[in-house]
Every structure is written in C-alpha cells, then in structure tokens.
Amino acid sequence: MTRLLLIRHGESQANREGFFAGQTDVPLEEKGLFQARMTADFIVSSYTADKVYASDLRRAYDTGKAVADRLGLEAIPDSRLREIYAGKWQGRKFTDIIAQYSSDYQAWLTDIGNCVCTEGESVAQLGSRVLEALTDIARANPEKTVVIATHATPIRVLQCLLGGHSLDHMKDIPWVSNASVTELTYNEGIWKLEKIGQDSHLSDLKTTFPANV
C-alpha cells in the first residue's frame, strides 16, 4: 500500500489579491510560507514520509519544498500536478471574469465538474492528467508515504473521482483550505480517501476561498 498526502499550497498572491491564478506562476505570500512550514511540522509529527513531489508552479513547489527541507529530501517537480489551465481567466480578478465571461464562469460556480474555462482546460481534462500523475507516483513508490504539493482544483476533482462519483457530484464537494493535508491510499489499483482537508494544525492562520470562487 502507498500512502499519499496531498497538500494544497499555502496562501498565494492570487489568493490574497482575489484573482484567478490558474497556471499563472504567482508566489506564496508571507502567511503562505508560514502555513507551509506549519504543515511541514504537522507531517513530520504525524507521518513518516519518504518522498516529496510538487507541482512546478512556485506556490505549490515552495510549499512542497518546505516539507522536503524539513525531511532532508528533494522536492521533485511534476507539471502534471499543476492547477487547471484557465485560458482567458488567468490573472484576472474574479469580479472581471464574472462580468466578461458570465456564462462560462456561472458553470464554474454551479456545475464545476462539467465546466470548461474560457479557451482553457476542462475540469475533466484536469482530472485525467492529475489522476495519471498520482497513479504513476503511487506505482513508483510501493509501501511508502509520499507528500504531493498541488492546488485546490486538483484536490477537489480527485475527491470526486476517487470517491467513485461522476463529475456531476463535484459541485457538492467543498474546497479544501490552504496548506491542508488530504490523505489517500493506493493498493493494487484501488484508491481510498482516508482524511480530507486536515487543517487544525493551522489554528487561526487557516485561509479559504471567498464565496465567488
């Protein structure tokens, strides 16, 4: 059995300033760096981790690196773990997206699993690439515990797919908070969701998406 610990990155510039990052390479805020270190401490105290992978976007990579540094390991980048490619929405304020791409963004808000970002990636495409990455990582690390630093939408779509649901159900799954830890296991092709969005270690530094995301 392989155990995978999915970390959503710490609070980023996009989170702080209220714009849709997608694959725009924005940094962590100071709070996000501190959240990442707190999550590294939580993982060290709660698990015995053997390896660390991360999206190659800075906000996730630096979150993963905080854990890797704490463990004396390398953070291995994998572009398949990136956030959704959001096309015309990337780098735009949420209020601007709602005004200019109202029909497409309304689908994001009300039926995210079946959404396609305007001139960007669909959530279904995102789910396929992230699940492929996780499966490859799990198969390459049998009987190990692996940390994976990624993003909010990958974790949300994985909860849906690995929970045995169609993407129609994804709208009913809440976002996990920044620097939270979601635990999965993989055993001979079978996935199991163990713990979702562990964030009590963040105490009053917990941060979440606003209602218009």
| pLDDT at res. 210 | 86
Q: How many CB atoms lie within 10 A of CB 34?
A: 17
CATH of 2-146+160-205, one of 3.90.660.10, 3.40.50.1240, 3.90.550.10, 1.10.1750.10: 3.40.50.1240
| pLDDT at res. 157 | 98
Q: What is the pLDDT of residues 121-172, one digit of tens each?
A: 999 999 999 999 999 999 999 999 999 999 999 999 999 999 999 999 999 9
Q: Domain locations in the chain?
A: 2-146+160-205
| pLDDT at res. 16 | 94
The residues assigned a catalytic role are 9, 83
∠ CA(207), CA(91), CA(103), 5° rounding?
Answer: 95
- pTM here is 0.97
Residue 158 CA to its chain's centroid (Å): 9
Q: Which residues contact 111 (CB under 8 A, 6 or more apart)?
A: 168, 171
User: 């709070």: which residue's tokens?
Assistant: 31
Give the chain's residues under pLDDT 50. Answer: none
